[in-house]
C-alpha cells in the first residue's frame, strides 16, 4: 500500500466491499455495525486527540485491500478455472488453430 488516502475513502470502500460480499441488506449485518461503531469511536474531535486513529486507518485500509483481493481472486478463478476435459477441436479453437481435415471428408 503506497498511500492510505483519507479515512472517509477507506470507510466508503469497506462499505462497498461489504455490500458486494453480503447477499442480504448489508446494514443489518454485525460487520457493518462494528465498522461504523469503530470509526465513530476513533474519530478526532476538538476535545480529544485520538492517537489510535492512524492505527485504525491502517488496519482498515489493510482489511479493505484483503476484501478487494479476495473478491477479485474469486472473479478470476470463476472466469479462468478449468471446465474439465476438452476435445482437441475445442483446445485448438482456444489457441486460434484449426485441426487438419481428414482425407475423404472425415472430421
Decide if 72 is inside a domain: yes
Ramachandran bin of 26, using left for φ above 0, alpha for ψ from -120 to 50, beta for the remaining angles: alpha
Mean pLDDT for the chain overall: 82
Where do runs of H (alpha helix) occur along 1-107? 7-21, 30-41, 53-80, 88-95
Instruction: Kindly report the pTM of this predicted structure.
Output: 0.63
Decide if 100 is inside a domain: no
Decide if 26 is inside a domain: yes
Q: What is d(CA 47, CA 60) in angstroms, rounded to the nearest whole number?
A: 24
pLDDT at 4: 77
How many structural domains are present in the chain?
1
Decide if 97 is inside a domain: no
Domain around 74: 7-83
pLDDT at 36: 92
Decide if 107 is inside a domain: no
User: In the predicted model, what is the mean pLDDT of residues 32-41?
Assistant: 89
Amino acid at each position: 500500500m503506497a498511500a492510505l488516502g483519507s479515512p472517509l475513502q477507506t470507510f466508503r470502500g469497506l462499505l462497498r466491499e461489504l455490500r458486494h460480499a453480503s447477499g442480504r441488506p448489508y446494514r443489518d449485518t454485525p460487520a457493518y455495525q462494528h465498522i461504523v461503531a469503530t470509526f465513530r469511536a476513533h474519530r478526532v474531535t476538538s476535545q480529544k486527540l485520538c492517537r489510535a486513529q492512524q492505527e485504525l486507518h491502517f488496519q482498515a485500509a489493510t482489511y479493505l485491500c484483503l476484501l478487494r483481493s479476495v473478491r477479485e481472486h474469486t472473479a478470476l478463478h470463476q472466469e479462468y478455472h478449468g471446465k474439465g476435459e476438452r476435445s482437441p477441436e475445442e483446445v485448438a479453437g482456444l489457441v486460434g488453430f484449426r485441426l487438419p481435415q481428414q482425407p475423404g471428408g472425415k472430421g
